[in-house]
Structure 1
Amino acid sequence: MAYENFGNAGPSNANDIVYDPDQDPDERRAVRKKYRDLKAEIDERQNNTDGAAEFMLETVKVADGLFARVRGTGEATLDSELLVKASVQSAMLARAMKSGSGAFDVDDYISKLVIFMGGRHGVKEPEVVPAEDEYEDDDDTQLDWGRIGWKAMARSHRVPAMDFMLGPLSVEQKKRNVGKRSKLEKHKEDRKKPQEITEDDITRSGNETTKNVLALEQILETTGKINIFRFIINPNDFGQSVENLFYLSFLIRDGKCALDIEDGEPKIFMCEPPTAEDYGEGLKKHQMVMELDMATWRRAVEVFDIRQSIIPQRPKAETRIGDKWYG
């Protein structure tokens, strides 16, 4: 591995990591090229275990020094990809390590750890421990992490400290409860089927939207130019006021009705629908979104002193499904 010295190995200082979008392009390309070269070398040595540990250590040192020159998100992404690749390769090397005559099996190692700590009905091995810390033989499923601690203390010079370790070794497997399912299968007659509905059970009414749009068109022709709120607001029914605005939008969309601001008031009036020639001469449609909430509805009733709706009150539509009616 022939790379110049990029700095001392070790954790990078957060104060040295500065985002610089104006970094020299040549330097940015050089950093990216070195990251790609490191990834390529890891791929080439994927199946070569000779000196793999030293190679990985040297790669991480070079990458750490190279990271001091990173000033952009693209180069930082390459750095993270390199570390992930190095971690995966190191894990594969650890699995390929030889222990005696056989390979190191992580799953078998974890299984033996669980048995050693008293899990899965394992038999505890005799060992010498202080008299005040003798362990009881019981059938508790909780793992005895203290046994691992005493084993580790014999090989370690660190001062023992109290800590908590929670992980997959201490998770109890959930048992599948099949009691409720078998109970339901025994009493299938107790189940209720959903109501079957055919086309004959649904009473279809005429197209209410088309009919109401035509009704609003006829009313607007008789009223002439009028304030939009005076036209659509029903002082006794907020829901129908919203419906009136909805039906009016179809007239404006088709070009039969126009909206204009006159003396500070929004007014609507009937007009001739534009032709293809009008659009060819540059006429454009303008769309807008109008909000009509309950506060605006109450304010319009109060400001314009609306006592009676110009658009007649419509009966509520009802639909019959089976033997029931829905409004």
Structure 2
Amino acid sequence: MDASRKRKLSRQDHFNNYEKLRQRMKTQLSSASKGQASSTILNDIDELTRLYGAIQNDRLRLDTKIQLEDSEVFREASDVAAINARNIRLGDLGISVNEEDFMNSLKEFAGRSVQEGNYEEDEEEPDEYSFNKTNWLKLGVLYHQVSKKPISIDFLNGPLATERRRPVVRTRNQDDTKSAHLTTASNVNAEDITINEEHNTAYMVRMVYQTYLEKGVPDEGMNFFKFFIDPESFGQSVENLFYTSFLIKDGRLKLYQQDGIPYIQRVTQQEMEQEDKAVTHHHIARFNYQAWEFYIEKYEIESSFLGHRDEAPEDEIPDDELDV
């Protein structure tokens, strides 16, 4: 066999060659990001062309997987070339573009016929027909695709344009701050902000607790409903329930059940010392006007344990429910 005749490459050999080229291009990404991979990219394209030619001269030219591999490697080579072209600095590499060739190519791209000679001659004698013949929209689309400059919106310049205001004669307001009497929201007297102890929550909580101590409630406690309900006033019953909830929350009184009936009892000194070990529960009770009438009749409550406070007569009985 003639030694000069090359060995035919197998299907796997073609894949290996493409893979080697792909790995070599990956190592060139850092140079391409600096715009310094122009020569190596040209070598890669030449190598890609050689590999493709070797496939066409082989019986494997009809293998779709090899054709697909060639297309993928060619696409990756195009991506690397685009990255390199985007970062090329002409001054650093000493590469320059002929100005006349650039302008002639630009005119040809825009749809104008290019004649031999210097492009400056056309600029010295501008022709309206030549200007209108240029496809400026095509140039604008190209600029939009390759430029990184944001595109301005010219149609907003009209609405955003500033207009000079016409001078308008205004009536001068009379300054009456020096002659008229000034009134402000903070102009109040000291007695207007004096706290009324009868409407002070902390004071009323202390009074409820003091009443509990003075009336000598048995050690086993007393019926919770008999404790806070005022049979003469639904409103004061709600207030008593509100004040009692603070005493329970602060650990002065405790609420428990006995035979299904809630009882209230004083917390002993020993229980206060063991407050960290005490188990607390959160209860939500519904108390409205119908419940107030029901418990008065059920437990035969004739007078208020906490005493009845003088109040203005109520025109209507409140029907709102109170959740505690």
Q: TM-score range by the shorter chain?
A: 0.3 to 0.5
State the TM-score, normalizing by the size of structure 1: 0.37
Greater Rg by CA = 2
Q: Which has the higher helix share?
A: 2
State the TM-score, normalizing by the size of structure 2: 0.37
